[in-house]
Amino acid sequence: MTDNYPSTTEKHLENYLETDKPEEACGVFGIYAPEEDVTKLTYFGLYALQHRGQESAGIATFQDDRVYIHKGMGLVSQVFNESILQQLTGNIGIGHTRYSTTGSSQINNAQPALVETPLGPLAIAHNGNLVNTQDLKKELIDRGCNFNSTTDSEMIALAIATEVKSGKSWLKAAISAFHLCKGAFSLTIGTPEGLMGVRDPHGVRPLVIGTLEDINPKRYVLASETCALDIIGAEYLRDVEPGELVWITEEGMASFHWNQKPQRKLCIFEMIYFARPDSIMEGGSLYSYRLKIGRQLARESLVEADMVIGVPDSGIPAAIGFSQESGIPYAEGLIKNRYVGRTFIQPTQHMRESGIRMKLNPLKDVLEGKRIIMVDDSIVRGNTSKKIVKALRDSGATEVHMRISSPPVTHPCFYGIDTDNQEQLIGATKSVAEIAEQIGVDSLAYLSWEGMLRTTDEDPKTFCSACFTGDYPIPLPDKLKRSKLVLENPVQV
């Protein structure tokens, strides 16, 4: 069953709520737990992953050879209610929150993607982006496939279905299909027999395994982030490894390394911005990492000031770290309205012109007469930063110095993050001094690429930082490159 919600208004109403961030990845969830209410557990898992995508949400459950599915446009809390959840019965559940990368924001592109196979229904939830969609689509058309959406996620599901049709088991069919896919994909896949969790050979997008410890036999949960385990009381076990498939059935969990040459390239922006600060990556909370990059930023670009503030919410941990390292007091100078970011109601023209105050409101009595260091995690286009700076000055700030806890974004992402074409990335077209002048700050400094990676305390070669360097770990087809890489020589800063 599906509800045909009204089509979305202008994408995120960017004309007045445009952010300076790369837009979210997607969130995926999966659970095998016959003794539990898997539908509600999936719902709450998606609720914890809402920050990863707000355009659509969906849940598919499996009971024997039957599948029940509901998906719709909007937030998890808008798409589901108690009545709908009661109709989704089963012992296996997968769920998805979506921000569109491949395929537009409309109901037929909402996930999980569902296909029929000779072994029964298959549902797939996908975080990431394939880079060989044109070749894969041609291959699937040659195999007689019909498409119900414009997503690469459905292509993965159809690729598995065609392999099943040739007589292969679920596992062998899935592994054969994954070898057809190039790009970034972290997947939860539901079948009548069991639940799969899969990562591409580079592990660009995260996927973790948890256990429901108080249940015997042990039951397993898959999720994009550990915060989705926490909300349902599951314990973090480990990450799904790059190039690994885990197969969860009544017999337990089995592991298959379907790609023999994995080379981890976790997206560094997961650590800087995308994932929730209470999620665990690389053995520690992301809040701790963001504190550390704030400290590193202060060591690299300290300036005299009276106060450090962060841009809510993602800039706050780095701002606190900057304050701790510099000794300059931290204060809240911007208050975020958390309930307007995904409204379907058009504002008035006057509100559109004032723009940023719908999401952020400055505290005049805190800012007045002060020299401010404002810390944020990134600047993509610069429009929102300019509005924030103006609001701080209008509130009486005498100086505004901006510090960014990542390097300049100079290249678009092709692996599941919605960034602009290169010509729209301010870091690719302007120097730091030119950006500072455009957004109206007294000074601007970014975290160095070396400092960003060194602060992870991991091998820098195990991260994808292509959006800062243009060094893409997964080869890109020329046509795909040309679609976004429009500048031959981006500005070096």
Which residue numbers belong to the known binding site? 267, 314, 376-377, 413, 464, 467
Q: Residues comprising the binding site for [4Fe-4S] cluster?
A: 267, 413, 464, 467
Residues 6 or more apart whose CB falls under 8 angstroms from that of 362 comprise: 333, 334, 335, 391, 392, 394, 395
Q: Which residues pair with 245 in a beta bridge?
A: 198, 256
286 to each of 183, 206, 279, how far by Cα in Å? 25, 13, 6
Residues 6 or more apart whose CB falls under 8 angstroms from that of 283 comprise: none
SS3 state at 141:
helix
Task: Give 122: exposed, middle or buried? Use CB within 10 Å, 0-12, 13-18, 19+.
Answer: buried
307 to each of 370, 445, 448, how far by Cα in Å? 7, 16, 23
* Cα 133 to Cα 135: distance, rounded to the nearest angstrom: 6
The answer to whether the CB of 485 falls within 8 A of the CB of 422 is: yes
Give the dihedral of Cα atoms 31, 112, 465, 490; nearest 10 deg.
-170
* Cα 279 to Cα 227: distance, rounded to the nearest angstrom: 5
**Catalytic: 145?**
no
Give residue for tokens 């394939």. 130
Percentages helix, strand, coil for the chain, rounded to the nearest 5?
35, 25, 40
* Cα 344 to Cα 13: distance, rounded to the nearest angstrom: 8
* Cα 35 to Cα 37: distance, rounded to the nearest angstrom: 7
Give the Cβ contact number of residue 443 at 10 Å. Answer: 16
Catalytic residue among 26, 145, 181, 227: 26
Tokens linked to 472: 């893409």
* Cα 180 to Cα 155: distance, rounded to the nearest angstrom: 10
SS3 state at 168:
coil
Nearest to 210 by CA among 185, 188, 189, 240: 240
- Sign of the Cα torsion 106, 151, 90, 240 reads negative
- Active-site residues, by number, are 26
